[in-house]
């Protein structure tokens, strides 16, 4: 065991934040610290790191073990270059190397006992240098910098000239190079693009030490952790497994807790009714029995109602009209900014019902593409066309479509003047804005609150083509899951930009990767994209011939054609099923008519008519058998 957390309590201004938090971390174990916003995750991490004191409780770290901590937004402030700043972490090894080189020079002039002393020291230092990977210092620094998104021509940049996000990446790089026995990270993926996040995942997966990380990136956690510590109701609950496993276990536990609470409430209510009834008899024996039951009721260990059960936002997006089959089509779309070409000659078709995720590194033009489709930006060349009856709903990651000077109530009422006060309040309440919250100004809202308000407007829009820019930013885990479920049930078309790979994995049916100013399409979710991209890179790394590349392109086209053929076949089957069901209903109705006719006294004596009806009934029976057989086959 490398870390033991025992009975940690912490409060601010009389409000309890953490109560009796206890858990432990084994050596080399990878753990996540999760919980809703404001539950005290970062506070607990700071207490463990020694940055903040607790009110009571103990933190125990294995004797001799080293720890490293990176806070949110932590940045390096230095006049050093990026390279020299990172090199300072390994300065003791560089100093050791310099001493080894000096000893090599000293050997040339030393004799006798002096030479023996120099050689002994040289042997000792060389051994120490080797076991600490001294010969790989430069390649290690280069690997970490490149992994975290720095290019070689940036290594000589002064740290003081970097952006806040870049300085945070330098701080992360320094911490990773120190290789502590326990590394603690607070939202390490916030300033990383997808390729850098994937590199960090690989680094931490193979890290020879323990990791404790706070992160909202659920895919990142899924790939790294084997234990989840959930902060809820001010205390810590420990779950073995990755994030998905934790999420499923917690949902099962919550459902069981709610059932137990509801059952106990029903029993309490029943006992109270019995007590009242016994008292109403107003007899000595009945009153004693009532008092006895009251004492038993007082001794019950009453369960608390599980929180969050009824205080999650309610989101269902229903299009007001069905769009045409072709939703969006582009022709040779291009866009650049001065000195920054983004993309060119984009040919894109989106069909009704598709859920398309656009991915790529920061600054490649993903958000710009969405803004072109919503009319907020103009393309340099090319064009795009929306299909029949397409109605766009747009979610902006910066929430610039919201009006900072309006209240929440005004934001909804001005956009939807036909809604009365009650409907507006009910809508806002569905997104967790209650009472006087509705009169807050938009400018006073947090990022998460603005996100919920934008989602409320999206729901009210009843659009059939949703264009979303980083929709999960600032949402807590519960809200993300609600959004995912709503989008999976959505009957319209979806085009979105996201860095949230867990979200992409759960919602996308197709992925467009923007890389080197062009788009590459992958049919399927994020896991499928990773698999197919790896195959493509393996072919490229193996020096594929033009014929192999051509084959890969052909296979990609075939997979697209095969999917379209499969979709067409599926629609054909669905239409056939509807036709069979209609035929079955008509045949059954005719059967009933024949039975009624054959029992009619006026026809009972008409042998010719009875024979005709009997023959028809036999034909209908055969037809029904065939219809039912076909219906069952199609539904398999």
SS3 355: strand
Tell me how far CA of residue 19 lies from CA of 6, 10, 236, in angstroms: 11, 7, 8
56 exposure class (CB count in 10 Å sphere: 0-12, 13-18, 19+): exposed
Domains of the chain, by residue range, sit at 247-298, 326-521, 564-635
Cα–Cα dist 137/93, whole Å: 8
Reported as a single tens digit per residue, the pLDDT across 67-86 is 999 887 777 777 888 888 88
* Highest mean predicted confidence (pLDDT) among 116-130, 489-503, 577-591, 595-609: 489-503
**DSSP letters for 175-244:** HHHH--SEEEEESTTTT--HHHHHHHHHHHHT-SSEEEEE-S-HHHHHHH-SEEEEEETTEEEEEES-HH
SS3 412: helix
Four-point Cα dihedral 32, 36, 37, 41, nearest 10: -40
Contact 43, 17 (CB under 8 A): yes
Q: Which runs of consecutive H residues, i.e. helices, occur in 465-606?
A: 477-489, 501-507, 526-541, 546-598, 601-604
Cα–Cα dist 333/300, whole Å: 69
Tell me how far CA of residue 29 lies from CA of 17, 66, 211, 514, in angstroms: 26, 15, 6, 36
326-521: CATH architecture: 3-Layer(aba) Sandwich (3.40)
**DSSP letters for 102-155:** HHHHHHTT--HHHHHHHHHHHHHHHHHHHHTTGGGHHHHHHHHHHHTT--GGGT
Question: Would you state the structure tokens that stand for residue 516, as one six-digit string?
Answer: 């080197």
The pLDDT score that the predictor gives to residue 363 is 80
Q: Is the pLDDT of residue 555 over 50?
A: no
Q: What kind and span of H or E run contains 298?
A: helix 284-298
The torsion angles phi and psi of 108, rounded to 5 degrees, stand at -65, -25
Reported as a single tens digit per residue, the pLDDT across 304-323 is 877 654 456 788 889 999 99
Cα–Cα dist 327/432, whole Å: 33
Cα–Cα dist 549/559, whole Å: 15
Percent of the chain with pLDDT over 90: 26
Q: Is the pLDDT of residue 158 over 90?
A: no
The torsion angles phi and psi of 103, rounded to 5 degrees, stand at -65, -35
Reported as a single tens digit per residue, the pLDDT across 239-253 is 999 998 998 898 888
Cα–Cα dist 100/104, whole Å: 6
């Amino acid at each position: 065991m490398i870390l033991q957390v025992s009975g940690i309590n912490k409060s601010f201004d009389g409000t309890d934040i953490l109560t009796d938090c206890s858990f432990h971390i084994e050596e080399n174990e990878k753990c996540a610290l999760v919980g809703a916003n404001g539950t005290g995750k970062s506070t607990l991490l700071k207490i463990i790191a020694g940055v903040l004191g607790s009110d009571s409780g103990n933190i125990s770290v294995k004797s001799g073990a080293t720890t490293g901590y990176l806070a949110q937004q932590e940045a390096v402030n230095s006049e050093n270059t990026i390279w020299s700043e990172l090199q300072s972490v390994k300065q003791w090894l560089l100093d050791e190397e310099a001493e080894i080189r000096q000893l090599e020079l000293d050997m040339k002039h030393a004799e006798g006992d002096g030479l023996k002393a120099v050689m002994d020291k040289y042997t000792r230092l060389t051994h120490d240098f080797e076991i600490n990977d001294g010969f790989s210092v430069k390649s290690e620094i280069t690997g970490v910098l490149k992994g975290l998104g720095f290019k070689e021509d940036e290594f000589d940049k002064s740290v003081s000239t970097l952006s806040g996000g870049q300085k945070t990446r330098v701080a992360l790089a320094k911490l990773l190079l120190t290789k502590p026995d326990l590394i603690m990270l607070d939202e390490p993926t916030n300033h990383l693009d997808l390729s850098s996040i994937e590199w960090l995942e690989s680094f931490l997966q193979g890290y020879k030490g323990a990791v404790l990380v706070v992160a909202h990136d659920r895919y990142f956690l899924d790939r790294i952790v084997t234990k989840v510590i959930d902060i809820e109701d001010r205390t810590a609950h420990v779950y073995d497994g990755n994030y998905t496993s934790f999420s499923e276990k917690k949902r099962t536990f919550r459902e069981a807790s709610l059932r137990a609470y509801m059952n106990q409430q029903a029993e309490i209510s029943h006992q109270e009714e019995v007590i009242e009834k016994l008292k109403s008899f107003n007899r000595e024996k009945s009153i004693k029995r009532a008092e006895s039951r009251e004492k038993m009721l007082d001794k019950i260990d009453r369960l608390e109602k599980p929180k969050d059960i009824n205080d999650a936002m309610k989101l269902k997006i229903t299009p007001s009209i069905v769009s045409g089959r072709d939703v969006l089509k582009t022709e040779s779309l291009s866009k650049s900014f001065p000195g920054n070409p983004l993309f060119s000659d984009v040919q894109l078709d989106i069909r009704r019902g598709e859920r398309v995720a656009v991915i790529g590194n920061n600054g490649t033009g993903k958000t710009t593409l969405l803004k072109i489709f919503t009319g907020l930006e103009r393309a340099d060349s090319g064009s795009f066309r929306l299909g029949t009856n397409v109605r766009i709903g747009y979610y902006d990651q910066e929430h610039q479509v919201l009006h900072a000077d309006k209240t929440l109530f005004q934001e909804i009422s001005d956009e939807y003047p036909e809604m009365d006060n009650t409907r507006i309040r009910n809508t806002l309440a569905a997104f967790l804005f209650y009472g006087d919250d509705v009169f807050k100004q938009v400018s006073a809202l947090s990022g998460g609150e603005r996100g919920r308000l934008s989602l409320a407007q999206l729901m009210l829009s009843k659009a059939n083509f949703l264009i979303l820019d980083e929709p999960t930013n600032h949402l807590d885990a519960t809200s993300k899951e609600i959004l995912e479920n709503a989008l999976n049930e959505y009957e319209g078309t979806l085009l979105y930009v996201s860095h949230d790979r867990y979200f992409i994995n759960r919602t996308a049916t197709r992925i467009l990767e923007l890389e080197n100013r062009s788009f590459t399409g992958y049919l399927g979710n994020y896991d499928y994209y990773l698999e197919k991209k790896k195959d493509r890179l393996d072919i490229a790394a193996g020096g594929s011939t033009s014929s192999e590349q051509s084959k890969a392109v052909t296979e990609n086209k075939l997979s697209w054609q095969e999917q379209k053929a499969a979709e067409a076949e599926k629609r054909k089957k669905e239409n056939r099923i509807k036709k069979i069901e209609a035929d079955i209903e008509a045949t059954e109705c005719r059967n009933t008519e024949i039975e009624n006719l054959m029992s009619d006294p006026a026809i009972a004596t008409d042998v010719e008519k009875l024979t005709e009806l009997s023959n028809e009934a036999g034909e209908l029976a055969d037809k029904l058998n065939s219809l039912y057989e076909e219906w069952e086959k199609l539904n398999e």
